[in-house]
Structure 1
Amino acid sequence: MRLQNVCVWGPLLYTATAHNSIHWTNCSSTAPNLECGRLNVPIDWNHPQGEQTSLGLVRLKASNATARIGPLFFNSGGPGSIPSEFIGATAQGLPLFGDILPQHFDLIGLDPRGMGTSDSVRCDPEIANRRVSFFPKTQAEWDEMVAYNQEFAASCYNLTGPLFAHVDTTSVARDMEAVRVGLGGEKLNFLGLSYATQIAAAYAELYPESIRSVVLDGNLEHSLDEVSNMVTESTGYETELVRFADWCFATSSCALHGKDVLALFDELVSKADKSPIPAPGCTVSGACRSNVTGEEIRFNVQEFLLFKEAQPHLGVSGWTSLGDALNQTLNGNATALSTMLETSDIDSTTFAGLAVSCLDWTHSAKSLEDLLYKEQLAKALSSHTQGASQTWGTQTRCIGWPAPVQNPPHRTQIKGEPPMLLVNSLYDPSTSIVWANSRFAQMPSSASMVIRDGDGHTSYTLNGESTAAMVRFFVTLEAPAPNTVYRS
């Protein structure tokens, strides 16, 4: 089949033809309705006739052909999420999308360039597993950190090739448009969680006329300076840790019920800073570090706060698991708080995720003194977590990165009025409500925003009022009234 759609990439023209259309195959004997596809696209969209990279995707067609609306792309964030796995699990019966969306939409799981079934970012796991502090206090520690970053990034560049310097979010958005055209040219629907809200915004900037509906759940902000971003995320994390401590004190199912959780947290961090706490389960499995430092506790606890309530269908145990982890660590077993180790030169969750972050965000510290100013600020505003966060990781781990920033921070500029719905919880430890408000202020008048008055990162998977509003928006394009606040 020859497709006649012509897509505009800035000043460039790209014509979708049979040569670059999606090649489909059946990819699961246990899920016969699931299709696997591949599409080649330019590594560098500024040189569309240059070297190509291969994208992998899956499609689960709408179950009700007469009620079908169009394609719905899904990405759960990261960066490093593998959307094909979510759609594949849905085909196997995972109730991630409920009953309504699979009836009306072809569910599309496009693995972003560099990860999953797409051509992967590859790095040396031995270098990745080396322990180094990202809160250097001395010139020697600063030098060690920068040297580590340079050696690790060089391994990624050598193992990956030119793709390594082109996994930025703008390139991902252009890939999405190529896939949309390859699917037949219908307008796109997109459900983006966490980092994927940045993909959604980048796509809307480039191709507003190609959008039928977009939902951004758990919003990143891509226009703020480094210090503002660091402060916003670290204080959001700190606030949620305090709320967890209050919940744990008052909740009998928490392993530290009735105790001063914040004091115990500080005690653990101080103890582990002096002498790393053993993680015997890691010694047995080899999957994680054999002991845990205080810095690692501060970084790793953030992930435990992402979901307050257990979500068994996603393998998430909720805040009770953090109470258990802290209690076990207090008793000398820090296995649950240990850092996972890499076992292969392909790890889509961490390798590609860091590569994307280093191409999307500035990391301007040039000396130990530059970083110490930020450390002092972080400690003053977040006395327990002390600035440890995904943002801090980007601003330190990308120092010395060999590939220049491709998608620098900027205010969102969307021409036209594509239907967009922003959703954010009030107490999100990763994507702050501050970011959501700032992002919403840059959206066109066609955008709407709703707030979930609750804890945790993103809302779609909770199956509450917020989820119902998102589903309703996709099907009917009817957004909730302005200033709507949901409790679930």
Structure 2
Amino acid sequence: MAVPIDYGNPTGESITIRMARLKSTNNGTAPLGTLLINLGGPGAPTAALIKDVAKGNQLFSEELMANYDIVGLDPRGVGTSNPVKCNQRIWNERVNLFPTTEEEYQSIVAHNKALGESCAKLTGNLINHLDTAHVVEDFEMFRLAINNGGLNLLAWSYGTQIAIQYAEKYPENVNRFVLDGITDHTLPETTTLIAEAATYEATLNQFFLWCNTTSDCLLQGQNVAGLFDSLVKTAASSPIPAPNCNSTGDNACFSTITASDILTNVQFLLAGPNINTTWPELSSSLAAAAQGNAGPGLSTPIATSDNYNGYAFLAIACQDWLHESSGVTDVLEKQRMAAAMFPHTRGASESYYAQVKCIGWPALTTNPQHVLEKKALRAPPMLLVNALWDPETSIVWATGVARQLEETGSVLVTRDGAGHTSYLGSLEGETRGVEEVFLLTGVLPAKGLVLRS
């Protein structure tokens, strides 16, 4: 699908948005039309997920696939849709994201500026038009192209931000929207950080409890919280070797891990979404690191090409999220606040990453956090879903968004469990079932519903 690079100049340059479609299994005729899905990220290639399903990877129920054509669209700058390109050598430079001096702070700014300029050179004018407001217009172009009435959308993580902004701009075109793992794009910079950091810390504490109650944890019976803190302290003074990391290939990673690596990558392993796999992996990685032999799970990936997925995450985040620190004093204030409130994780989170890595980024923040527009309240009811212990999208965010959308009749379902998103975590989960019921029938569950799986 051809779309303008800049919707402010619709007759100017264009790019191609690509997607993959699963035709309905109901003799190719979809009774409920088309269901658009978005995997989030930002930067996650959704078309690849659809291709995996087409190859036999089970994700959607037979009933959902019979009733819908299911489309995974790669947003602009992501996957197959003109992916963001950057200089991999600059990207792979080691930079301390927890500066304590003005000199360290200025090193981050210089690195970010050089990286952003490389992305602009390799990506072109698109680098300035990656914000969610532009993605919303792409989604509307898709709706018009399929000529299928209102838009049906199953969105995960960052995809929920796209969904909410779409409802702000085109409330009359919303049909059945499921938002799983809610991103709140209405909060100030520091409040955004605190909400995500709090849920990361809370989920890590759940992991510590899990380790004491199951043999699946290799650290069962040990002081796992103390071991975690000790590893962070050790890696801060002397990086821990990760000899099993390869320097080339699809899964390349750094051969040592720093404190920043541990704090960043543990969040991803806690997220899952299938924590039955990633939590035992996390326990194994921590146990190995304690022996001075950290595994790839705790190491940071190395970009091995000019279109690595991490580039898109950063480029989009820098246009969508405020990063207004003007010196090391501002960053130190965040560090002190977070360390006092979250002694294990110290505020490390995707929000913190964006707020520090975007300082000095050359593209403007064109779609910063903003109060939800009243127009969104004209949208029909939506289904919102969040886990209590989702380390990436906080239950605080979900509750706040649900309150803001209360007038629409939207309902928040809470899963009393851990992991990032609920639909992707388990094929048999109750929460997943509630999501599919709404997509198939339009019937919302009772307000205040809490499920265990």
Report the TM-score when normalising by structure 2. Answer: 0.96
Change in 2 beyond 3 A, CA 1:285/1:331:
farther
| C-alpha deviation, 1:412, in angstroms | 1.9
Provide the rounded CA distance (Å) in 2 between the counterparts of 1:247 and 1:155. Answer: 44
Q: Is the 8 A contact 1:67 1:104 kept in 2?
A: yes
Q: How does 1:200-349 map to 2 (within 5 A)?
A: 200-283=163-246, 287-307=252-272, 309-310=274-275, 317-336=277-296, 337-347=298-308, 349=309
Provide the residue aligned with 1:357 in structure 2: 317
Distance 2:451 2:332 in 1: 40
Of 351, 361, 366 in structure 1, the residue corresponding to residue 326 of structure 2 is 366
CA contact (8 A) 2:377 2:408 kept: no
Q: How far apart are residue 285 of structure 1 and its match?
A: 5.2
- Where do 4+ consecutive residues of structure 1 move more than 6 Å? none
Equivalent residues, number: 444
2-side partners of 1:159 and 1:116: how far apart? 16
- Structure with greater strand share of residues: 1
Q: Deviations over 1:352-393 (max 9, x none)?
A: 111110000110000111111111001001101111100000
Aligned-partner SS, 1:318: helix
Give per-residue Cα distances to partners, 1:97-138, cap 9 Å, x unaligned.
Answer: 121111101101110000111111110000000000111011
Instruction: Return closer, same or farther for 1:178/1:284 CA change in 2, 3 Å cut-off.
Output: closer
The code of the aligned residue for 1:474 comes to L
Are the aligned partners of 1:248 and 1:256 in contact in 2 as well (CA < 8 Å)? yes
Shift of 1:310: 4.9
8 Å contact from structure 1 (residues 419, 477) kept in 2: no
Superposition pairs for residues 371-450 of structure 1, below 5 Å?
A: 371-413=331-373, 414-443=376-405, 444-450=407-413
Say if 2:167 and 2:379, in contact at 8 Å, map to a contact too. no
CA distance in structure 1 between the aligned counterparts of 2:157 and 2:325, rounded to whole angstroms: 26
Gaps of at least 5 residues in structure 2 are none
Offset, 1:401: 1.1
| Identity in percent | 44
CA–CA separation in structure 1 for the residues paired with 2:413 and 2:323 = 32
Q: Does 1:469 align with 2:434?
A: yes
**CA distance change for structure 1 residues 381 and 43 in 2, over 3 Å: closer, same or farther?**
same
Unaligned runs of 5+ in 1: 1-38, 312-316
1:74 correspondence with 2:37: yes
TM-superposed CA distance for 1:445, in Å, is 2.2
Greater relative CO, 1 or 2 (CA 8 Å, sep 6+): 2
Partner of 1:106: 69
User: Tell me, what secondary structure is at the counterpart of 2:315?
Assistant: helix
Deviation at 1:283, TM superposition (A): 4.7
Measure, in 1, the Cα distance between the counterparts of 2:254 and 2:5. Answer: 35
SS for the counterpart of 2:378 is: coil
What is the aligned partner in structure 2 of residue 139 from structure 1? 102
Q: Give the TM-score of the pair, scaled to structure 1.
A: 0.89
8 Å contact from structure 2 (residues 273, 421) kept in 1: no
The C-alpha deviation readout for 1:140-165, integer Å capped at 9, x for no partner, is 11111110000000100111111001
- Give the alignment's Cα RMSD to 1 decimal: 1.3
Secondary structure of 1:321's counterpart equals: helix
How many Å apart are 1:329 and its aligned residue? 0.8
